[in-house]
């Protein structure tokens, strides 16, 4: 995706619920408007990150899948 | 659409498999900006005993869903009553969890506390089972049925494990 992240979080190898817990912490550490790039290998994280963003109101700009790695771009909105 | 603001959980079992869901859901709910309370009663108090979280065990007896140690070879469930089978089942479960890179229960408890999840120990069952406040980990509150219900009665999802 053509976005420039302000910070990167590697959740490779982590199982549910750790990617969500770490994403929450990392997004809280951003300024409003900044973007987090999060990388996970847990296939469940695709639906989980969507659900997390929908519930918290932060914006999931998009995600990519590449040979078992899922990369998410999340913008802090508030 | 109105969304529940709270997650209220009752944890009443002290086995490894029953101890995880309250903390997985509790920490995830906190990460989703929900208020969370977990009420520990009866055997659930075992989870909160100092040094106990990572030593909880799995009961193989009367648990036909327990995967077989050797795939394809069916071990009758009644064998779960033999001496040492609880340790065998616990060892198996712990090795599967490590392989799947699941967080240790003690880590999830620490994250729960850090993210504001309230852990309530039930006074009445502490008395019944002879458990003192100093037997339990720090950072807990002690309460009763009304404490849980007051929290759960306002805009909450309530679950029992």
Higher pLDDT residue, B1 or B89?
B89
**Which of B3, B28, B100 shows the shortest C-beta gap to A17?**
B28
Residue B60 has a pLDDT of 84
The verdict on residue B92 lying in a domain is no
Residue B31 has a pLDDT of 97
Number of structural domains found in chain A = 1
Please indicate whether, in this complex, the C-beta atoms of B24 and A16 are within 8 angstroms of each other: yes
- B41: domain range? 6-57+104-160
Residue B1 has a pLDDT of 57
| CB contact set of B129 (below 8 Å; sequence gap of 6+) | B42, B45
- Determine the Cα–Cα distance for residues A19 and A16; give it in Å rounded to an integer: 6
Nearest CA-CA partner of B119 in B48, B49, B56: B48
> What's the CATH code of the domain at B13?
3.40.1260.10
- Average pLDDT of chain B, as a whole number: 92
Residue A73 has a pLDDT of 97
Whether the pLDDT of residue A47 is over 60: the answer is yes
Q: Tens of pLDDT along B55-77?
A: 999 988 888 888 777 777 788 88
Whether the pLDDT of residue A24 is over 80: the answer is yes
Number of structural domains found in chain B = 1
Residues B86-109 have a mean pLDDT of 92
The verdict on residue A2 lying in a domain is no
- A31: domain range? 7-75
Question: Could you tell me if A20 lies within 8 Å of chain B, comparing CB atoms?
Answer: yes
Residues A43-53 have a mean pLDDT of 96
Count the neighbouring beta carbons within 10 Å of the beta carbon of residue B77: 14
Reduced to 3 states (helix: H, G, I; strand: E, B; else coil), residue B151 is: helix
The verdict on residue B148 lying in a domain is yes
Residues B148-159 have a mean pLDDT of 96
Name every chain B residue with its beta carbon within 8 A of the beta carbon of A21: 27-28, 31, 111, 115
Residues B24-32 have a mean pLDDT of 97
Residue A11 annotated in active site: no
Tell me how close the Cα of B28 comes to any Cα of chain A, in angstroms: 6
The verdict on residue A18 lying in a domain is yes
Residues A67-77 have a mean pLDDT of 96
Contact between residue B139 and residue B113 where contact means Cβ atoms under 8 Å apart: yes
- Average pLDDT of chain A, as a whole number: 96
> What's the CATH code of the domain at A48?
3.30.110.40
- Determine the Cα–Cα distance for residues B131 and B28; give it in Å rounded to an integer: 29
Residues B7-34 have a mean pLDDT of 97
The verdict on residue A1 lying in a domain is no
Residues B103-129 have a mean pLDDT of 97
């Amino acid at each position: 995706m053509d976005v420039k992240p302000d910070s990167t979080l590697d959740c490779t190898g982590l199982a549910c619920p750790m990617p969500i817990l770490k994403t929450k912490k990392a997004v809280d550490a951003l300024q409003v408007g900044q973007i987090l790039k999060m990388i996970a290998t847990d296939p469940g994280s695709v639906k989980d990150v969507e659900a997390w963003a929908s519930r918290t109101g932060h914006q999931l700009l998009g995600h990519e899948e590449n040979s078992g790695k899922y990369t998410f771009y999340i913008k802090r909105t508030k | 659409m109105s969304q529940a603001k709270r997650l209220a959980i009752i944890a009443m079992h002290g086995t490894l498999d029953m101890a995880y869901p309250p903390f997985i859901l509790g920490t995830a709910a906190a990460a989703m900006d929900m208020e969370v309370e977990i009420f520990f009663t009866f055997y659930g108090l075992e989870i909160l005993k100092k040094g106990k979280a990572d030593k909880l065990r799995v009961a193989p007896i009367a648990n036909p869903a327990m995967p077989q140690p050797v795939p394809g070879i069916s071990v009758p469930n009644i064998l779960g009553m033999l001496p040492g089978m609880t340790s065998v089942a616990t060892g198996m479960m712990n090795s599967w969890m490590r392989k799947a890179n699941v967080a240790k229960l003690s880590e999830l408890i620490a994250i729960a506390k850090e993210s504001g999840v309230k852990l309530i120990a039930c006074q009445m069952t502490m008395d019944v089972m002879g458990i003192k406040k100093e037997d339990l980990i720090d950072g807990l509150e002690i309460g009763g049925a009304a404490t849980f219900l007051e929290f759960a009665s306002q805009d909450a999802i309530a679950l029992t494990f």
